[in-house]
Structure 1
Amino acid sequence: RALLVSLLALASFACMPPSAFAKDSPDSIYDLPKPREGSKYVVVADLGSTGSRGFVYELNGGEIVGSKGLKVKPGVSKFNHKPNDIAEYLRPLFAHAASLIPEPYHHKTKIYLKATAGVRLLPIEEQTVMFDTLHAALESDKNGTYAEFLAGDILCPFVWESKDQLGTISGDEEGFFAALSVNYLGNRMGTDLKPTDNCVPDLYDGAEAEGGSEVGEVGADQGDGAGGEGGGAGEHAQEVSVLGAMDLGGSSTQIVYQPKDKQKGAGEVTPLSMPDFFVHSYLSYGVDKAKERLWDTLLAKSTEDSTDDHISNPCDFVGRPEVWGSDARSMMGTGDVAACQRVIKEMLFDGSGCDLGAVESGDLTGLGCGLDGVRHPPIDTSTQFIAMSVYFFALDALKVIVEAHEGANPLPSWPSPTVTEVLEVAERFCTIEWTTVKGKYGDIHDWSYPEQLPHRCFESVFIATILQYGFGFDPNGRDVMYALSIDGMEVEWTLGYALQALYQSR
């Protein structure tokens, strides 16, 4: 397949398969291949804050392929006071997985149900009751047949050996699994979790082009990406360039990368593990929690004796109303990106003691101010990042809607726009009247549900702000690629979990 992409973007991500830049239909399924001798399957469900998604992965030799996730809503944390309902809530995920795995493999396939930030925010006591209840339901059905499952007599047709297959993963674990995912999909790691030198980072160095250029299968002649049987790495003649990962959800955000002092040199071919990375999860820094903090900040900044009919919200589309707070205060969007960023910086960094001017001058490039009082080690200038989940959804919505509104692609360097470019486009995006966004463009973005679309303006500015001021990315650099899928597989932490589970089961 050949894609029309910017060489400028490809120069930084030359090892990525071209489908990293493709956009799959949201209704499509990357079909698993016909069963092959030696295949092993695993099912991983992400019990997230806004919904739960189930993925099927098949390992054969040194290659792993996966299905598109099926999502059920709401997030499992909403069942904290009705745990007996969780089993039926998850049944569609089990049915989806069963339809993708040949029946003879069901009794050999493990399923893992892992909750993330939405459940991490619940009291431990409530988590325990939820998981104990679900475990009891799965334990009672663990020897059932597929026919019994189809008849509705059992809950799940897969292997259920212990309660260890169920529970809440830490934010750091979530970040680490995301790093395994992007490095496997980016040809930087095999299924044995060892870094590979399949990529050629300087493949396009020196290329000069304006606009787009027809580019073929990047890395297609460099092996299978998984390194053949076992996915092992060959002899290394240079340091392995390990990708960093960033994930943004509703309740938390993660960043994971290799600081300079943890990067492996030639010949250091060992499986990647969490100590090889700096990884941190910022709980309550996901977009839903940040949005609520922003609204609280705006309400706190307004005067109690104000005679205005509403409070101005610079982070919302022009004319979009919102009601918030215990006293149901009315807010109205003004789409003022500069003012929006000022409020976000105040919300995130006031009292941190960090010099925002030093960030803007470039003195803190690679460091930033951190988030939640956590300062990270310097990000090496050679490290490239894949940003997933809301990072992609929000900025892709910005791109698609502004392109429809203006009739031209506003981000020709997509999927690696600079922070400066994102903010420039956000200024036009957020000033579109909300009635126009909702009425004319309400259904043109495949990954924005009606309840998500109103907040894409805020999310775009929030992303640009935490990248530059929180993590210290150069506002004019192209170190981040925003991705939904790579080589037909969704970029999700669940792939990394599956890779580790299959590796440990050898």
Structure 2
Amino acid sequence: MTRQILLLSVMSLWALCGATHVKADHYRLEFPGMDNVLPIASRPANASRIFYAVMFDAGSTGTRIHVYTFIQKQQGELPILDNEMFQSVKPGLSAFADTPEMGGDTVRQLLKVAKRTVPRLEWKRTPVVLRATAGLRLLPEQKAQALLEQVREVFDESPFFVPNNSVSIMDGTNEGILAWVTVNFLTGHLYSDSKNTVGILDLGGGSTQITFLPRSKKTIEAAPADHVAKFDMFNTTYELYTHSYLGNGLKAARLAALGALGAEGLEWQVFSSSCLPRKFREDWSFGGVTYKISGVVDGYTGFKPCYEEMLKVVQGIVHQPQELKGSSVFYAFSYYFDRAVDAGLIDGTQGGMVEVRDFRKRAKEVCNKMSKLRTVSPFLCMDMTYITCLLKEGFGFKESTVLQLTKKVNNVETSWALGATFDHLRNLNIH
């Protein structure tokens, strides 16, 4: 990542971290409470301050490590987000619900990335944090806690700084807000004198999030109480429309459409769908549970019957903010991006802008040639149809709404992880 690109966002980082405006040409930068967060290290007064943070994203389909490098020059200069080192492993922690030691070992292996990235002298003052999302939220509490305890043991045996509450399950609301913070920071929209921000759509395996800053007070007034959250940042209180739908992530939606979510007798039941190729039949696992699934033997297949199946997964469940029927700017990532790449809608390196109608059009095309995709991507019809249904019938976007599909902005992953790192370094006071 070039310094020129990074400096486009540096004012956002300054504001986020609590800078005080002293003069027009001079700023005093602080990380409030930083001395209480990180162990003190001796440095020459004129040395650049380089510090690191390690954030684990324990999702339903994989565990990811983000190692961030920040630079603060001499006092009075602004810090720079210098670099992100990213790596992931599959499956997610929830797949080890019955073997938590193996789940802890995946985290242990990823910590090697942090050891290679962070200089040895900085290990003891580099915080390591793990936040789990829908995969663990969907597990029985006892199994989820057993996994978290294994991670704590792995952290404790590591050479890194382990702060209080270093391992926990993230609230779905915080997940959406912190993803919003990440994207708006990386796109340069977080300024203390501007509320010209972008919305975010995150589609994981177990849950999906929508977060945006409403332009109309009516959006807040009409929203259910648990769809509105406030947080304070650089002396500004943001009131966001945000909600996380547990069970409406891409993988969980497959199970819901199949009628397998929460079902019993999995050892003998076969769950079928008109969204799958007729001759398709296999064992499929999610969250450590294996299901027998197949296409329909008799009956219709294709986009139309598949769409009817997906309607049952979102109708009456997903709230529709009236404001989304107007012109809005949204960044969509995670499975929105991945499946759009798989369907040939966008380039896997560059990403791109698509309209909601483009998902519908490509879903129809994919569903019409399911038999050809049976061995390559048997779920593509189901997934593209679900995304179309979620956007149109769930959130209520117009077909002409443009979405920016992206995996990275300025070479940094578009997820909640960077926002969660900021939240750790300086509590954003979400309420």
Give the corresponding residue for 2:425. Answer: 502
Q: Against the structure 1 CA distance between its residues 501 and 311, is the aligned structure 2 distance closer, same or farther, given a 3 Å change threshold?
A: closer
Give the partner amino acid of 1:383.
Answer: S
Q: Deviations over 1:377-422 (max 9, x none)?
A: 634835311111001001111116xx9xxxxx9xxx9722212222
Matches of 2:163 and 2:291, distance apart in 1? 50
1:326-345 deviation line (CA, Å, top 9, x unaligned)? 99574249761122112211
Distance in 2 between residues matched to 1:335 and 1:101, nearest whole Å? 52
2:69 aligned residue = 58
Which position in structure 1 is the counterpart of 2:379? Answer: 455
Question: 1:393 and 2:356 equivalent?
Answer: no
Query: Helix, strand or coil for the counterpart of 2:94?
Result: helix
Task: Output the amino acid matched with 1:123.
Answer: P
Residue 337 (str. 1) matches residue 300 (str. 2): no
- Structure 1 residue 434: Cα displacement: 4.0
Q: Which position in structure 1 is the counterpart of 2:214?
A: 259
Query: Could you tell me which residue of structure 2 aligns to residue 366 of structure 1?
Result: none
Judging changes above 3 Å, is the alpha-carbon distance between structure 1 residues 428 and 319 closer, same or farther for their aligned structure 2 residues?
farther
> What is the aligned partner in structure 2 of residue 160 from structure 1?
162
Counterpart secondary structure, 2:81: strand
Shift of 1:297: 8.2
For residue 100 of structure 1, the aligned residue among 112, 117, 124 is 117
Change in Cα spacing, 1:246 to 1:347, as seen in structure 2 (3 Å) is closer
CA RMSD of aligned residues (A): 3.6
Q: CA deviation at 1:260?
A: 2.4
User: Percent of pairs identical after alignment?
Assistant: 25
Aligned match of 1:316? 276
Report what 1:427 is aligned to.
364
The match for 1:113 among 130, 138, 153 is: 130
Q: Is the 8 A contact 2:64 2:88 kept in 1?
A: yes
Aligned-partner SS, 1:93: helix
Indicate the SS of the match to 1:276: strand
CA 1:391 to 1:292, structure 2 compared with 1: closer, same or farther past 3 Å?
same
In the alignment, is the contact (CA less than 8 A) between 1:41 and 1:101 conserved in 2? yes
Counterpart position of 2:86: 69
Task: Find the residue that maps to 1:44 and give its secondary structure.
Answer: strand
CA distance in 1, matches of 2:88, 2:159: 19
TM-fit CA distance, 1:78: 2.6
Deviations 1:234-280 (A, max 9, x none): xx4xx5311111111111001111122579xxxxx953888521111
Q: Secondary structure at the match of 1:396?
A: helix
Shift of 1:166: 0.7
In 2, distance between residues paired with 1:321 and 1:398? Answer: 22
Given the superposition, is the C-alpha separation of residues 260 and 340 from structure 1 closer, same or farther in structure 2, using an over 3 Å criterion?
A: same
Change over 3 Å in CA distance of 1:171–1:312 after alignment to 2 = closer
Matches within 5 A, 1:193-272: 196=191, 233=192, 236=193, 239-261=194-216, 270-271=233-234
The one-letter code matched in structure 1 to 2:342 is: A
Contact 1:259/1:377, CA 8 A, preserved across alignment: no
Match of 1:179 in 2: 180
The alpha-carbon distance between structure 1 residues 94 and 475, as it changes in their structure 2 partners (threshold 3 A), is same
What residue number does 1:449 align with? Answer: none
2:27 alignment partner in structure 1 = none
Q: Distance in 2 between matches of 1:284 and 1:93?
A: 27
User: Which amino acid counterpart does residue 339 of structure 1 have in structure 2?
Assistant: P
Tell me whether 1:46 sits opposite 2:52 in the alignment: no
Cα distance in 2 between the residues matched to 1:458 and 1:115: 26
- Measured after TM superposition, the shift of residue 89 of structure 1 is 2.2
Q: CA deviation at 1:129?
A: 3.2
Using a 3 Å threshold, how does the CA distance of structure 1 residues 433 and 289 change in structure 2: closer, same or farther? closer
State the alpha-carbon separation in 2 of the partners of residues 297 and 76 from structure 1.
21
Deviations 1:437-485 (A, max 9, x none): 64xxx4xxxxxxxxxx33222111111111111111111221x211111
Greater relative contact order, per chain length (Cα 8 Å cut-off, separation 6+) = 1
Q: CA deviation at 1:168?
A: 0.4
> 1:160 & 1:312 partners in 2: Cα distance?
46
Shift of 1:123: 2.5
In structure 2, the residue matched to 1:486 is: 409
Mapped contact 2:257–2:312 kept (Cα < 8 A) = no
Matches within 5 A, 1:272-291: 276-291=239-254
Task: Determine the structure 1 residue equivalent to 2:24.
Answer: none
Structure 1: segments with no counterpart, 5+ residues:
2-14, 17-35, 142-155, 190-195, 197-232, 264-268, 301-309, 353-369, 404-408, 443-452
SS at the partner of 1:417? strand
Deviation for aligned residue 1:312: 7.3
Task: State whether residues 260 and 380 of structure 1, in contact with CA within 8 Å, keep that contact through their aligned partners in structure 2.
Answer: no
CA distance in 2, matches of 1:488, 1:327: 37
CA positional deviation for 1:296? 1.9
Q: Aligned equivalents of 1:186 and 1:327: distance in 2?
A: 41
Distance in 2, matches of 1:458 and 1:342, equals 11
- Aligned partners of 1:389, 1:336: CA distance in 2, in Å? 25
Deviation for aligned residue 1:293? 1.4
**Is the alpha carbon distance of 1:427 and 1:240 closer, same or farther for their aligned partners in structure 2, counting shifts above 3 Å?**
same
Q: Determine the structure 1 residue equivalent to 2:392.
A: 468
Residues 477 and 102 of structure 1, relative CA distance in 2, 3 Å threshold: same
**TM-score, length-normalised on structure 1?**
0.62
